[in-house]
Structure 1
Amino acid sequence: MPRRFNLLGFQGDPDVLLSRRRLLAGAAALMSALAAPRLLAQTGDVIRLGQTVAFTGPLGDIGQAMHRGSKVCFDAVNGQGGVHGRRIELVAKDDGYVVQRALQNVQGFLEDPQLFGLFSCMGTPIIESMLPLIRHTDVPCFSPLTGASSARPSDMRNVLNLRASYPEEAERLVEHLATIGLKRIAVAYQNNSFGQEVLQSAEKAIRRHQLSLAASASIQNDASDAAAAAKTISASAPDAVLLGLAGKPTVGFVKAIRAERKGLPLYALSVMGSAATLSALGDDGVGIAVSQVVPLPNRSVVPVVRDFLKAWHATPGAIEPSHLALEGYINARVFVETLRRAGRHLTRKSFIDAAWNIKRLDLGGFQLNFLEPGRNASRFVELTMIGRGGRFIR
């Protein structure tokens, strides 16, 4: 049976690993065909993008919000005639945040002769696993939803990352703690690759700002040891706790640490802020500071947010606008701008070249600068706080 994976953590399973090897072997036959640039010059051509994303499972709310944010942008562009006369078609397949299903989705996309590229695929373990399928090809992998260094290869020019990295988020949080005079910082981190990277980044930032690490405690993906971790953290008497957590471990640890020390300041990364997590936290979430990689989605004084809200409300749907929805919209806006710059005689190569030639692009309160493979184009990180009703405030 395939195993489910909590956000951004991959743990080896013999059956999954075997399936991955089979998928990789099957995909090898596609490499030579995919490596050849395809000309899309005829007016009216469709630019087809593949997206493997969680619509169901514990992270389904993240995938739905991000996908819809992208879709409202593409629909608005298509409604105005597309880009150079070409309509953008976003084909999304649910993977439930299961690596094996995601790899099957990606292989299916790569077998489609009309596929132009992959767009906003979701999650570190999934991106890590799919990178070998597109290595040595010209298939663009645009704006994957992960901040992990492991999913940002410096030798793959076709992987185009937008969002700020987890180390950058951790640095911003620690910098803030140093600025307000909090000295003893504890770190609660998920026992997976995501959590380990946050811990290592936080430790470096703590040393750089001449603070002290009061304690660190790992938490399993099922949150079974969250209460024990809270006791360890509480016993160290920290001034604040940085959370390298997402999903169930966030809820388990926050509730446990609130029971130990109710007023202890808590600081978290953007990935903790899904609608399901905020709902499960309830009043225990109020006051948690959270780094964000896009602006507040209701701050209409920011031009790109105003554009987003206009497109969002023009499309029927019950989902509330969120940071993740805005991130999806921004990803789509940058994709559209890259298409425009690539020109009418479009190939995958011309698209990738156009992306790396984007310098100091301002979408209206959100700047991007494509520097080199392995680097993210955006360095936007701001701090928000969870208010009453699970809404973010500045």
Structure 2
Amino acid sequence: MPKTLPPQAVRPAAPGRLWRCAALAGSLMAGSPAALAQLTVLQVAPLTGVDGGLGYHVRLGAQIAFDEANAQDPVPGGPVSLLTLDEQRGQVVQQVRQALARQPVALFGLVGRHSVQELAQGTPGGWLTQWQLPLVGVFSGSVQALAPLPAGVVLTRGSYADEVESVFRHLGTIASRRVALVTTDDADGEEVSALVRQQAQAEKVGLLGVHTHPTGSAEVMAAAQTLAGQGVDAVILASNTAAVANFAKLYTQAGGRAQLIALSSAEATQLAAVVGPQAARGVLISQLVPNPRDPKRLLSREFLAAYKRWGPADLSPTLAMTESYIAARLLLDSLRRSGPRPTAAGVWRTLAGLPPQVQVADLPVAVNRRAPGYRSLSMIGRDGALVY
């Protein structure tokens, strides 16, 4: 049973590896003039394991935004360099503390609630407040883990509550009255389970069961076999990409016919790469960012143009890359508004003053969930590609 995505889908790094912009790699030696003349953005994210694909795509989306800015519209005090550390669970505070010697102007693109929880401990207001190190972009829909937010922390992602509401709104349009949930046996799973129970009760939809699997794994065979025989109308999947893909395959093989709907914690564009187009076909995906290939949207056109210049030719753009690109664009705008020589403390103040909603190209972006954010559903088609 697969527990990680295939190499062609995720490009995992070796454990502990540092990822840098290739053009700047030679200038990162501590104390060098080039190192002092650049703006370092720090990322601590998983580059290996089940979440390694997501961490890699988050890194790539931000790197494309920074490369484009460095080439086309430089930030005062730049260029901007992305330094990514392979996250070591339980050691995030130590990893960030050690990286402070590089004088990062911001922390970017954390994956999951655990990193934020680690950084929120140990001192009043958390370590980020003590260090005055701003943070932009947390790839988690949790509300419980991310509240209260320090002033210099900006979220651009919608909440689990937003996604669950969208899912149940769709279930109402297809007359689904019997649903089940598959999620992880951790705090995220508990939070999603509570939201699904509340929404099911409000919509008078029968919740026939909540099935959990070990966090950080794709061990969903028991849930797939059980639900295939229950006759549910829909199964909501709140887990990682590998688990969602594996469930779709095993559930179909066991004779299951319910509509499968995955939250955005799974990378929709990678499901078919994991289990093949036939197994992934028909799965609905909740998404919190627009179609990266939408020619009618300015943001998508700008992202694709930058991707063609700076992205890998053998990997297609994903929703995770798009989400990271949007968050990185917000950070770049904040750097430009933080004076001729941006510092972490100055960026902290700039982020603290952001309104509830900002504009990135033609996309209104909700800041810290204080305004409505982008929400939609897409489906995986016959060839494994998303139908938006």
Please give the TM-score of this superposition, normalised by the length of structure 2. Answer: 0.81
Q: Which residue of 2 aligns with 1:370?
A: 367
Q: Which residue of 2 aligns with 1:99?
A: 89
Q: CA deviation at 1:308?
A: 0.3
Q: What is the rounded CA distance, in whole Å, between the counterparts of 2:221 and 2:65 in structure 1?
A: 43
Q: Which residue of 2 aligns with 1:321?
A: 317
Deviations 1:369-389 (A, max 9, x none): 436xxx466621110111234
Q: Which residue of 1 aligns with 2:104?
A: 115
Q: Which residue of 2 aligns with 1:220?
A: 214
SS at match of 1:342: coil
Q: Which residue of 1 aligns with 2:296?
A: 301
Q: CA deviation at 1:349?
A: 4.2
Q: Which residue of 1 aligns with 2:223?
A: 229
Q: CA deviation at 1:150?
A: 3.6
Q: What code does the residue aligned with 2:97 have?
A: Q
1:331 aligns with 2:354: no
Q: What code does the residue aligned with 1:106 have?
A: V
Q: Which residue of 2 aligns with 1:14?
A: none
After TM superposition, list the pairs within 5 Å mapping 1:164-313 onto structure 2.
Answer: 164-221=158-215, 222-224=217-219, 226-273=220-267, 277-282=271-276, 283-313=278-308
SS at match of 1:58: coil
After TM superposition, list the pairs within 5 Å mapping 1:31-46 onto structure 2.
Answer: 45-46=37-38
1:296/1:392 contact within 8 Å kept: no
Shift in alpha-carbon separation, 1:113–1:272, aligned structure 2, 3 A = closer
Unaligned runs of 5+ in 2: 6-35, 122-126
Q: CA deviation at 1:366?
A: 2.0
SS at match of 1:77: helix
1:358 aligns with 2:355: yes
RMSD: 2.6
Q: CA deviation at 1:155?
A: 4.5
SS at match of 1:242: strand
After TM superposition, list the pairs within 5 Å mapping 1:59-138 onto structure 2.
Answer: 59-80=51-72, 82-95=74-87, 98-100=88-90, 102-110=92-100, 112=101, 114-132=103-121, 133-138=127-132
Q: What is the rounded CA distance, in whole Å, between the counterparts of 1:109 and 1:146 in structure 2?
A: 23
Q: What code does the residue aligned with 2:70 have?
A: N
Deviations 1:214-247 (A, max 9, x none): 22222234444x3332343344422111112214
1:61/1:274 contact within 8 Å kept: no
2:43/2:85 contact within 8 Å kept: yes
2:382 to 385, 388, 393: 388
Q: What code does the residue aligned with 1:89 have?
A: S
Identity of aligned residues (%): 25
Shift in alpha-carbon separation, 1:267–1:325, aligned structure 2, 3 A = same
Q: What is the rounded CA distance, in whole Å, between the counterparts of 2:119 and 2:362 in structure 1?
A: 32
Q: CA deviation at 1:260?
A: 3.3
2:271/2:280 contact within 8 Å kept: no
Q: What code does the residue aligned with 2:381 have?
A: G
SS at match of 2:110: coil
Q: What code does the residue aligned with 1:121 have?
A: L
SS at match of 1:91: strand
Give the total of aligned pairs.
Answer: 347
SS at match of 2:58: helix
SS at match of 2:240: coil
Q: What code does the residue aligned with 1:328 have?
A: S
SS at match of 1:188: strand
